[in-house]
């Protein structure tokens, strides 16, 4: 083999080895390449909502019961019957009550007869007492006989008063028996529609302890209400007169509209969860809605039509620990001071961070006062109090992440309004990061809940 051929083979092997080394180096370099997932800041509509579930019911619902016990003799109304005020809806067997009326009437007659007898005796005793008085004055009878006649007259006059009372008692008992007899006619107390009927003919009802419910009557099904269970964290956003919408399973594609009439102060606690009843008035002129339907309600408590919107994932993003060294702050502030939109401030060499990871500029005061190391408006260990409107986002500018402090407004759960800070429409905010082929275990803000807001209690 010639020298030239040997040299060509050796050169080829060297080139192959060089290409292999270069590809290996390139693979290693690519494996350490950092790639950022970003989203654009834009302007648009944000609607902040509160959701709750509730049940439909008539505004006025009357329970029709019975005052007396007995057997149901007849029914004059049924489910869905339309009734008028005073209309007979059911009848209790009246025979026992009719007998009681007859007995009470007989007692009245007997009492009146006894009264007449006692009255006659009183008149006679008065005559005897008067005659005895005249005879005693002429000393024709003993004084004792006169006193006896006078006592008899006084006793008979008192007997007349007692007989009058007995007559009145008998009349009262007769009236009670007549009232009980009238109670055997169960009449509707209002105009409305029968929602439920709880008795049948032949059934015995007992009213000795409490009045049993025979019918449930809704006064007007064209006007209904929804009683909702609103969480205590959201009840402060609701006010009377607020518009509300809801859907029911019977008409899943249709939205019904109502208005909040009342936010009741009575708490309802179930398994240590406190809710409040927000009552919604609903027009049901088409009679589509029925009592007892489950309503999935939505209350719109804030709305922005041209808001500067940032995805909530960007609010939660924080660089992983292995990239912190590469993202050391520059002499110029990476985020705008919150004194005004577009402003600049010097960033600290070692910025204090909130529990959620947000940086705090030197001397910056959070709502309620205070700053790093101070107690006003901050919790022990630094960071804003829960519910603070300050957040930190990371923006990709010239291929490098920059930290920006912002003040936020309303949120709809996926997008949040930015009301102040060095952000503008079109900026690319970072939502996640990938180092090579591996995604860091945690790039989300610790302690952040849905919408980028701190979880309660953190």
86-98 confidence digits (pLDDT tens): 999 999 999 999 9
225-242 confidence digits (pLDDT tens): 999 999 999 999 999 999
- 128: tokens are 């005897």
Predicted confidence at residue 190, as pLDDT, reads 93
d(CA 394, CA 384): 19
Predicted confidence at residue 131, as pLDDT, reads 84
In this predicted structure, the answer to whether residue 367 has a pLDDT above a threshold of 70 is no
- 234: tokens are 């959201």
Instruction: Please answer whether residues 329 and 415 qualify as being in contact, where contact means their C-beta atoms are separated by less than 8 angstroms.
Output: no
389-437 confidence digits (pLDDT tens): 889 999 998 888 888 999 999 998 899 999 999 999 999 999 988 876 6
Predicted confidence at residue 105, as pLDDT, reads 95
182-217 confidence digits (pLDDT tens): 999 999 999 999 999 999 999 999 987 777 899 999
Specify the CATH class of 94-183 in words. Answer: mainly alpha
Domain ranges of the chain: 34-49+307-452, 54-59+224-304, 65-92+189-219, 94-183
179-182's contacts with Cβ under 8 Å and 24+ in sequence apart are 180/67, 180/68, 180/97, 180/100, 181/94, 181/97, 181/98, 181/100, 181/101
* CATH number of the structural domain 65-92+189-219: 2.40.50.100
- What residues contact residue 320 under an 8 Å CB cut-off, 6+ apart? 433, 435, 440, 441, 442, 443
Predicted confidence at residue 173, as pLDDT, reads 95
d(CA 98, CA 175): 12
Query: What average pLDDT does range 243-268 have in this prediction?
Result: 95
Cα Rg for the chain, rounded, in angstroms?
46
d(CA 89, CA 177): 22
Lowest mean pLDDT among 11-20, 154-163, 314-323, 377-386: 377-386
104-116 confidence digits (pLDDT tens): 999 999 999 999 9
pTM of the model as a whole: 0.65
- Torsion, Cα 124 127 128 131, to 10 degrees, reads -170
| Percent of the chain residues past pLDDT 90, beyond the cut | 55
* CATH number of the structural domain 54-59+224-304: 2.40.30.170
Cα–Cα separations (whole angstroms), residue 297 to 26, 244, 245, 259: 57, 7, 6, 11
């Amino acid at each position: 083999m010639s020298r030239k051929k040997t040299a060509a083979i050796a050169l080829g092997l060297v080139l192959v080895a060089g290409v292999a080394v270069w590809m290996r180096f390139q693979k290693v370099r690519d494996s350490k390449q950092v790639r950022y997932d970003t989203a654009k800041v834009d302007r648009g509509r944000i609607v902040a909502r509160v959701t709750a579930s509730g049940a439909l019911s008539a505004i006025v619902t009357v329970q029709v019961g019975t005052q007396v016990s007995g057997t149901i003799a007849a029914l004059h109304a049924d489910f869905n019957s339309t009734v008028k005020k005073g209309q007979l809806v059911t009848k209790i067997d009246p025979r026992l009550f009719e007998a009681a009326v007859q007995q009470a009437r007989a007692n009245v007659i007997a009492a009146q007869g006894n009264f007449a007898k006692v009255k006659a005796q009183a008149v006679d005793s008065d005559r005897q007492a008067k005659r005895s008085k005249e005879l005693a004055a002429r000393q024709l009878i003993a004084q004792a006989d006169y006193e006896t006649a006078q006592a008899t007259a006084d006793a008979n006059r008192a007997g007349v008063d007692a007989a009058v009372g007995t007559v009145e008692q008998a009349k009262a008992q007769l009236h009670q028996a007549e009232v009980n007899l009238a109670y055997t006619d169960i009449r509707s107390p209002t105009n409305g529609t029968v929602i439920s009927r709880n008795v049948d003919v032949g059934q015995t009802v007992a009213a000795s302890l409490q009045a049993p419910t025979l019918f449930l009557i809704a006064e007007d099904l064209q006007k209904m209400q929804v009683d909702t269970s609103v969480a205590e964290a959201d009840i402060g956003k609701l006010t009377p007169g607020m518009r509300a919408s809801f859907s029911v399973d019977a008409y899943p594609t249709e939205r019904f509209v109502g208005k909040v009439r009342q936010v009741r102060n009575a708490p309802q606690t179930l398994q240590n969860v406190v809710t409040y009843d927000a009552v919604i008035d609903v027009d049901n002129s088409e009679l589509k809605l029925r009592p007892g339907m489950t309503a999935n309600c939505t209350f719109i408590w804030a709305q922005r039509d041209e808001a500067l919107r940032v995805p909530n994932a960007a609010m939660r993003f924080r660089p992983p620990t292995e990239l912190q060294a590469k993202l050391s702050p520059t002499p110029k502030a990476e985020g705008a001071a919150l004194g005004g939109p577009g402003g600049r401030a010097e960033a600290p060499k070692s910025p204090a961070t909130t529990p959620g990871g947000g940086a705090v500029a030197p001397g910056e005061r959070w709502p309620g006062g205070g700053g790093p190391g101070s107690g006003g408006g901050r919790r022990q260990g630094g960071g804003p109090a829960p519910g603070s409107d300050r957040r930190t986002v990371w923006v990709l500018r010239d291929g490098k992440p920059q930290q920006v402090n912002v003040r936020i407004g309303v949120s709809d759960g996926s997008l949040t309004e930015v009301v102040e800070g060095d952000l503008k429409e079109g900026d690319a905010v970072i939502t996640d990061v990938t180092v090579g082929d591996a995604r860091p275990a945690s790039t989300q803000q610790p302690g952040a809940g849905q919408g980028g807001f701190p979880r309660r209690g953190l």
